[in-house]
A and B are shown apart, each in its own frame.
Chain A
Amino acid sequence: DSGVTQTPKHLITATGQRVTLRCSPRSGDLSVYWYQQSLDQGLQFLIQYYNGEERAKGNILERFSAQQFPDLHSELNLSSLELGDSALYFCASTPGENYGYTFGSGTRLTVV
């Protein structure tokens, strides 16, 4: 157990639907990163939050959004889902603005 908890572990949904992925960072970690892992794109950085504020955006689609709550957990919202959104979505946390990433075990999203 890495200390970073992601739920759900698996999610199957239909095209056009909306889902929410949840990440609870390791205790004390202020920064949360979201990554998408797919066969064709590999591991892609989506977005980072630090202590509730958005800090950086990567290759995140406009249909996707995220937030970090006062208790530091984060949610990634994916809407108008397409088949190509099927992927593993990881979150990682760090204590601050450093590189000590701890990854969760991921949410596998399948869009049918």
Chain B
Amino acid sequence: AQSVTQPDIHITVSEGASLELRCNYSYGATPYLFWYVQSPGQGLQLLLKYFSGDTLVQGIKGFEAEFKRSQSSFNLRKPSVHWSDAAEYFCAVGESHGGATNKLIFGTGTLLAVQP
């Protein structure tokens, strides 16, 4: 079965510092990978997704992620964090059954705190 591991439960960075959130997945074929962000009391917003092609994916809010097949990783990065980036971040892998279903398997999330 597919699975997603986010090894960091909680991360604190200073405003203006760079950020990297780790994500490792387990999937037999080429995975469909996603990063979502959840602010308190809000739903999940899609930051970026990888289906195929260029392994460096650009998303919204200045985020990017790199797919590394050899490491089964899809880490999220941002060069300079803003206080408004404080939120919980979820990595997810898409599970398909012959194209009939596209449910997402989510990691446990990484809670990002930003220090002034």
Chain A residues at the B interface, C-beta cutoff of 8 Å: 2, 4, 31, 33, 42-43, 45, 48, 55-56, 58, 90, 92, 94, 97-106
Contact = CB atoms under 8 A, between A and B. Distances in A.
A56 B107 CA distance: 20
Contacts of B107: 42
Nearest to A102: B46
B103 interface: yes
A105 to B, nearest CB: 4
21 contacts: A2-B45, A43-B90, A45-B105, A55-B100, A55-B101, A56-B97, A92-B44, A97-B99, A97-B101, A99-B32, A99-B34, A99-B49, A99-B94, A99-B104, A101-B44, A102-B46, A103-B36, A103-B43, A103-B45, A105-B41, A106-B43
Interface residues of B, number: 25
Contact of A99 (B102, B105, B106): B102
> For chain A, what secondary structure do more than half of its interface residues adopt (helix, strand, loop), or is it mixed?
strand
A33 B105 CA distance: 12
Contacts of A92: 44
Contacts of A43: 90, 106, 109
